Amino acid sequence: MNPTIHILFIINPISGVGRKNQIPPLIEKHLDSSKFKWEIAYTEHRGHGGEITAEKRDQFDAIVAVGGDGSVNEIGSQLIGHDCALGIIPCGSGNGLARHLKIPLKLEKAFQTIAQFQPVKIDSGKINDKAFIGTCGIGFDAHIAEKFDHFGKRGFLSYARLIMREFNQYDMPEFSIIGSDLKIQKKAFMCSVANSSQFGNGFTISPHSDIQDGEFELVFLKKFNWIETPIITGKFFGNNIHTSKHFECTTFRQPIKIKVNQTEDFFYHVDGEPYKGEGEYTIQILPLSLNVLV
């Protein structure tokens, strides 16, 4: 007789575009009660999902993040190096990691993924003391993440409005990168590290990223003329930004240090969540360190 699988669903009631009221009935519908036992917890503030996970991870076989990439990071970062698997029910505005892992965006099919219960190991990473699963960034992407955090309205259109508003005002910083086998110094519009391929909504920054290969992509985007925006945007959403003359990418396996020569307020992002910049960052890979249900 197979042992019972214990799952905790952590629901962020305010993330993304709603639909959270559909979750309890879908759990009942798709999880066979003869195979699964489950509980539901609701987050009450930012960081609460991580607190719940740290407390409960040894009691469950999987903890499922019901929310967006911020919720996935909160929960998943507390499962790195543990047997308990991360599950994802994508209910955010971007759902970048879920899209990369090809987890269905339709709730019914996403629950079928959970019910199959087939965990695989993926890489994760750290930028200084913060874990990330999909991407982190220290350029214009982080600038927009910080603005979006205070914008009020969620969704892709809010991102687009912010990008249009901030594009010409953004002053490119200079980045100094040192690793065991690379040394780079340059100004760039965007400096991102990709474990997975995209930020969300299909906006793909690193089309060839493999989340199980033990290496990250260091992606630069040079500043381009505003008139080129439709072409650049089309390449991001068409999975071929790597064909642009403004795109540069190098891979690394060993830790790297990134120093930002910027005196003004500066931000970085971890899976889309912004944090006040520290000026210098150490980025390291944690190979096959996280179990995920896919």
Helices and strands, counts by H and E, the chain:
8, 18
Q: Where are the alpha helices (DSSP H) in 150-217?
A: 156-166
The CATH number given to 5-117 is 3.40.50.10330
Is it true that domain 130-287 has CATH number 2.60.200.40?
yes
Confidence of residue 160 (pLDDT cuts 50, 70, 90): confident
pLDDT digits (tens, 9 = 90+) for 162-219: 888 888 888 889 999 999 989 999 999 999 999 999 998 899 999 999 999 999 999 9
Residue 105: the pLDDT is 94
Name which residue leads in pLDDT, 2 or 82.
Answer: 82
Q: Provide the β-strand partners of residue 219.
A: 192, 249
**Exposed, middle or buried: residue 250 (CB in 10 Å: 0-12, 13-18, 19+)?**
middle
Provide φ and ψ at 150, rounded to 5°: -110, 5
Per-residue pLDDT, averaged over 86-95, amounts to 92
What does the block give as tokens for 100?
Answer: 């990369």
Please tell me the distance from the alpha carbon of residue 108 to that of residue 113, in angstroms, as a whole number: 9
Which of 48, 38, 42 is CA-nearest to residue 13?
A: 42
For residue range 133-159, list pLDDT tens digits in order. Answer: 999 999 898 988 888 876 666 667 776
> What are the backbone dihedrals phi and psi of residue 98, each rounded to the nearest 5 degrees, phi first?
-60, -40
pLDDT, one tens digit per residue, over 19-68 is 567 889 999 999 999 999 999 999 999 899 999 999 999 999 999 999 99
Domain boundaries, the chain: 5-117, 130-287
pLDDT in the model for residue 22:
83
Cα separation, 251 vs 209, in Å, equals 9
Q: For CA atoms 127, 132, 135, 139, give the dihedral sign.
A: negative
In this chain, the answer to whether the domains covering 5-117 and 130-287 adopt an identical fold is no
How confident is residue 123, by pLDDT bands cut at 50, 70 and 90? Answer: very high
Residue-wise pLDDT for 226-273, tens only, equals 899 899 999 999 999 999 999 999 999 999 999 998 756 789 999 999
Measured CA to CA, the distance from residue 103 to residue 100 in angstroms comes to 8
Higher-pLDDT residue of 96 and 145 is: 96
Q: Angle of helix 107-116 relative to helix 23-30, nearest 10 degrees?
A: 40
Residue 82 is predicted with a pLDDT of 98
- Residue 107 in 3-state DSSP? helix
In this prediction, residues 91-97 reach a mean pLDDT of 89
